[in-house]
Amino acid sequence: MDDGRRRLVLLGGGHSHLAVVAAAGQWTAAAEVTLVSPDVRTAYSGMVPGVIAGHYAIDDCLIDVARLAARSKVRFLQAAATGLDPLRRIVRLDDGGTLDYDLLSIDVGATPRIPDAVAGAVLHGQCGGLTLAPCKPFPLLIERLDRFFASLPGQPGPIEACVVGAGLAGIEVALALAFRLRHRPSTRIRLLSGEARLLPAAAHGIGSALERACHEAGVEVVPDCRIATVEPPGTLVAADGRRFPARLALFATGAAAPAWLAHSGLMLDPRGFIAVEPTLASVSHPEVFAAGDCASVLQHPRPKAGVYAVRQGLPLADNLRRALAGERPVPFSPQREALALAALGPRSAIAIRNGWALGGPAGRRWLGHGLSGRLSRQLWRWKDRIDQAFVGRY
């Protein structure tokens, strides 16, 4: 029965939508709000390296979005979007159903950009004795990592593992994996980078400090290496012919837009992400909003990183409230460079912002080993408090 309320559909339980769902309890008189997510619980990305390293249990970084929705009197629907008809304002779902909307907000994240020749093996998860996993979605990553770690006691001999993709996320994953396997004899972990050096867009000192952190952790950085295919019984093959036998390969490659967006009818940026205004409203369809990794603010391009998605949450919630009330949305201008606290494997971290880095190898030139080590541990404690506070908030 139509009760006169507007229908707001939230696609995805990403970091930006957490603030929206929490605020939506105040909108029930004006809107019927539905949250659509394939997962009942969503992982906070900032804690994932800590889970891999063994510092956290899986549950420590999970937020129960279904329970959050219930607290806010938001309807929860466990499903995933497969398509959109923006003219008829209909969302198509993977269970064959559809949802009508007056307002739509999309926060479905991104997926690793994996070469077509490798995608089949990653989807299957196994190539002979090689376990493969993308670093997103989190449930799939943890399921395959758990299976891999459980198999190790019955597998004698050295362990070789590869992390494909050497952005900040890939570096954190490689260092976490090195710490997790530090007691395994003859472990060899490679970080396969498609660039000549780590983080080439950042100041040279940042990449150099992270290279030193990898070296000290026993992670071999392999530059100019783009994986082209996977061959049985378990070998990654680079485009230039180099071969890397491994028992585990994790893909932390650059972000790719969800495939269904290509046929959504929304205006996209050149990489396939939803093009939005500074208000986070779609450039082509003002009744559609988008945030997080699936969206690109054309006037304010930023990296695909969780910290930016988190900070879009409150502005997105405010503009959805305004749209429901028939008010004009307000532009949001993100900071140019957010502080990044990157985990170094052990309970230590490095702080990166505005071309500067502190902690780990980056601070030794000025502070020496002892003070820099203490600073790194303090940065970890700071990061831990921030991360756990975010999860606890929801």
Judge if 315 and 208 occupy the same domain: no
The verdict on 45 and 88 lying in the same domain is: yes
Radius of gyration of the chain from its Cα atoms, rounded to whole angstroms: 22
Same domain (yes/no): 192, 159: yes
Domain-embedded: residue 334: no
Whole-Å CA distances, 108 to 35, 62, 198, 213, 214: 11, 16, 28, 33, 32
d(CA 210, CA 216): 10
Same-domain check for residues 246 and 142: yes
d(C-alpha 192, C-alpha 271), whole Å: 23
Work out the number of other CB atoms within 10 angstroms of the CB of residue 80: 16
**Rounded mean pLDDT, 174-181:** 97
Span between the terminal Cα atoms of the chain, in Å: 32
Write the pLDDT tens digit of every residue in 124-141.
999 988 999 999 888 899
Count: domains in the chain: 3
- Would 331 be classed as within a structural domain? no
Please, which pLDDT band fits residue 1 given cuts at 50, 70 and 90? very low
70 occurs within a structural domain: yes
pLDDT greater than 70 at residue 167: yes
Order of strands across the sheet with 340-343?
Answer: 340-343, 349-353, 356-358
pLDDT for the residue numbered 30: 87
- Please check whether residue 1 lies inside any domain of the structure: no
**Do 128 and 249 fall into the same domain?**
yes
DSSP, collapsed to helix, strand or coil, labels residue 177 as helix
Per-residue confidence (pLDDT) for residue 368, from 0 to 100: 62
303: CATH: 3.50.50.60
- Indicate the pTM of the whole model: 0.92
**Domain end: 211, 237, 255, which one?**
255
Q: Is residue 329, in this structure, part of any structural domain at all?
A: no
Residue 178: pLDDT over 90: yes
123 and 12: one domain?
no
Shared-domain flag, residues 128 and 226 = yes
Maximum separation of any 2 CA atoms in the chain, in Å = 69
Q: Tokens 């921030």 identify what position?
A: 386
- Is the residue at 389 inside a domain? yes
- Position 367 scores a pLDDT of 60
Percent of the residues in the chain that have a pLDDT greater than 90, as a whole number: 79
Tell me: do 262 and 251 sit in the same domain.
no
**Bridge partners (DSSP) listed for residue 77:** 36
- 263 and 251 in a common domain: no
Half-sphere exposure of 279 (CA within 13 A, CB side): 18
**Residue 300: inside a domain, yes or no?**
yes
The answer to whether residues 355 and 309 belong to one domain is no
Residue with tokens 């929705």: 69
pLDDT, averaged across the chain: 92
The pLDDT tens digits of the residues spanning 376-385 come to 999 999 999 9
Tens digits of per-residue pLDDT, 20-47? 999 999 998 889 999 999 999 999 999 9
**Mean pLDDT across the stretch 113-131?**
91
Inform me whether the pLDDT recorded for 2 exceeds 70.
no
- Residue where a domain stops, chosen among 301, 324, 347: 324
The span from the CA of 162 to the CA of 132, in Å, is 10
Q: Give the mean model confidence (pLDDT) for residues 69-95.
A: 97
What are 215-264's pLDDT values in tens digits? 999 999 999 999 999 999 999 999 999 999 999 999 999 889 999 999 99
What is the per-residue DSSP string for 225-247? Answer: --EEEEETTTEEEETTS-EEE-S
Task: Tell me the two tokens of residue 306.
Answer: 């969780």
- Report the run of H or E that residue 111 belongs to, with start and end: strand 111-112
Q: Are residues 22 and 56 in the same domain?
A: yes
Print the domain residue range for 86: 6-110+257-324
Gap between the Cα atoms of 135 and 132, Å rounded: 10
Do 126 and 98 share a structural domain? Answer: no
Question: Would 127 be classed as within a structural domain?
Answer: yes
Q: Residue range 162-187: average pLDDT? A: 94
The residue among 280, 296, 324 that closes a domain is 324
